[in-house]
């Protein structure tokens, strides 16, 4: 039989209480990492400044997206949120309406305080989903199709409505089918086109803002990577369209260059 002196038992008890307190602190901290606005009793109302990011818009719900995020939402009793949930601005305008399953968002729509839609997420089929995001005036900002959580087809737009960026991958998200970027005036900035799907070779043309070709040449995808590099012959021009140099590359490394006066 083990006997504790008063001093030994007291020390043991203190250490136990401290350890228990530390564990409780860790648990609370872990829960806090997954906390989200709207944990209190409904109706949930927020200031626009609480939920809106100047660059990303109303993106705070994306972390609970079943296809894209790794966090969950819980109701005031601590259980994983389920069914339809609505959040509002302090003004009473609808901010968010989403369907939750085990704390994860299956479908949802967010709204600017002016009543216009900010983003709309929905599933296309069992593996593909789609997120469409809008500017405050209702103009489309981006439209992305995801395949098992990875972007498969992306279209982004300037506030004017003109295209900003386009990109599409193959059905297995293994290599690019094509990529384009644009200046705000509508002229192309860079165009990457797939020429040989088997060899994963491309042709890229970069442009000046005035529409003149800046440089052009071959691009190759390095096997087993997501690295696209210059390969073979490249031509370089000035803003008037005059050829200024010819270059040779070997999988991204410049091997020779010829300047033209």
Same domain (yes/no): 140, 190: no
Looking at residue 75, what is its pLDDT?
A: 82
Same domain (yes/no): 44, 169: yes
Q: Does residue 19 sit within a domain? A: no
Same domain (yes/no): 168, 185: no
Same domain (yes/no): 164, 192: no
Q: Which residues does 9 contact at the CB level (< 8 Å), separation at least 6?
A: none
Same domain (yes/no): 183, 213: yes
pTM of the predicted model as reported, rounded to 2 decimal places: 0.81
Q: What angle do CA 163, 116, 94 make, to 5 degrees?
A: 140
Q: Does residue 12 sit within a domain? A: no
Pair of tokens at residue 159: 């506030």
Identify the domain boundary among 174, 192, 224: 174
Same domain (yes/no): 141, 206: no
Residue from 127, 142, 130 nearest 172 by CA: 127
Contact in structure between 138 and 119 (CB atoms under 8 Å): no
In angstroms, rounded to a whole number, what is the distance separating the alpha carbons of residues 161 and 180? 16
Domain harbouring 101, CATH code: 3.90.930
Q: Does residue 210 sit within a domain? A: yes
Same domain (yes/no): 169, 96: yes
Average confidence (pLDDT) per 10 residues, the chain, 261 residues: 36 42 38 44 82 93 94 87 93 95 96 98 96 97 96 98 98 96 97 96 98 98 92 97 96 93 87
Same domain (yes/no): 113, 165: yes
Q: Does residue 16 sit within a domain? A: no
In angstroms, rounded to a whole number, what is the distance separating the alpha carbons of residues 239 and 12? 79
DSSP string covering 45-58: EE-HHHH-BTTTBS
Same domain (yes/no): 45, 140: yes
Pair of tokens at residue 25: 């602190």
Same domain (yes/no): 143, 220: no
Identify the domain boundary among 174, 198, 231: 174
Contact in structure between 36 and 72 (CB atoms under 8 Å): no
Q: What angle do CA 123, 125, 131 make, to 5 degrees?
A: 30
Contact in structure between 202 and 195 (CB atoms under 8 Å): yes
N-terminal to C-terminal alpha carbon distance within the chain: 98
Same domain (yes/no): 260, 207: yes
Q: Does residue 18 sit within a domain? A: no
Q: Which residues does 260 contact at the CB level (< 8 Å), separation at least 6?
A: 242, 243, 244, 245, 246
Domain enclosing residue 102, as ranges: 37-174
Identify the domain boundary among 119, 141, 174: 174
In angstroms, rounded to a whole number, what is the distance separating the alpha carbons of residues 55 and 174? 29
Q: Look at the block and give the residue holding tokens 């491309």.
A: 202
| Cα torsion angle, 131, 133, 139, 145, sign | negative
Same domain (yes/no): 89, 115: yes
Cα distances from 39 to residues 80, 99, 214, in angstroms, run 11, 16, 54
Q: Does residue 115 sit within a domain? A: yes
Q: Does residue 251 sit within a domain? A: yes
Domain harbouring 246, CATH code: 2.40.128
Bin 15: left if φ > 0, else alpha if -120 < ψ < 50, else beta.
Answer: alpha
Looking at residue 41, what is its pLDDT?
A: 57
Question: How many domains are there within the chain?
Answer: 2
Q: Does residue 14 sit within a domain? A: no
Q: Which residues does 15 contact at the CB level (< 8 Å), separation at least 6?
A: none
């Amino acid at each position: 039989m083990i006997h504790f002196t008063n001093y030994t038992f007291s020390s043991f008890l203190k250490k136990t209480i401290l350890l228990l307190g530390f564990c409780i602190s860790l648990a609370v901290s872990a829960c806090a990492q997954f906390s989200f606005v709207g944990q209190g009793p409904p109706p949930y109302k927020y200031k626009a400044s609480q939920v809106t990011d100047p660059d990303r818009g109303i993106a705070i719900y994306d972390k609970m997206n079943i296809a894209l995020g790794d966090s969950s939402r819980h109701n005031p009793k601590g259980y994983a949120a389920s069914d339809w949930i609505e959040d509002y601005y302090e003004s009473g305008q609808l901010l968010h309406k989403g369907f939750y399953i085990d704390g994860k968002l299956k479908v949802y729509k967010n709204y600017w305080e002016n009543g216009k839609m900010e983003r709309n997420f929905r599933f296309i089929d069992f593996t593909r989903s789609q997120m469409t995001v809008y500017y405050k005036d209702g103009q489309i900002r981006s439209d992305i199709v995801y395949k098992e959580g990875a972007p498969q087809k992306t279209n982004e737009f300037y506030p004017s409505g003109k295209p900003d960026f386009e990109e599409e991958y193959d059905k297995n998200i293994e290599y690019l089918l094509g990529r384009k970027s644009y200046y705000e005036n509508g002229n192309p900035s860079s165009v990457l086109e797939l020429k040989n799907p088997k060899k994963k070779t491309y042709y890229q043309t970069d442009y000046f803002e005035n529409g003149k070709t800046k440089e052009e040449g071959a691009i190759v995808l390095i096997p087993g990577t997501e690295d696209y590099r210059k390969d073979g012959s490249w031509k370089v021009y000035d803003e008037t369209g005059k050829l200024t140099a010819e270059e040779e590359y070997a999988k991204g490394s410049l091997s020779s260059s010829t300047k033209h006066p």
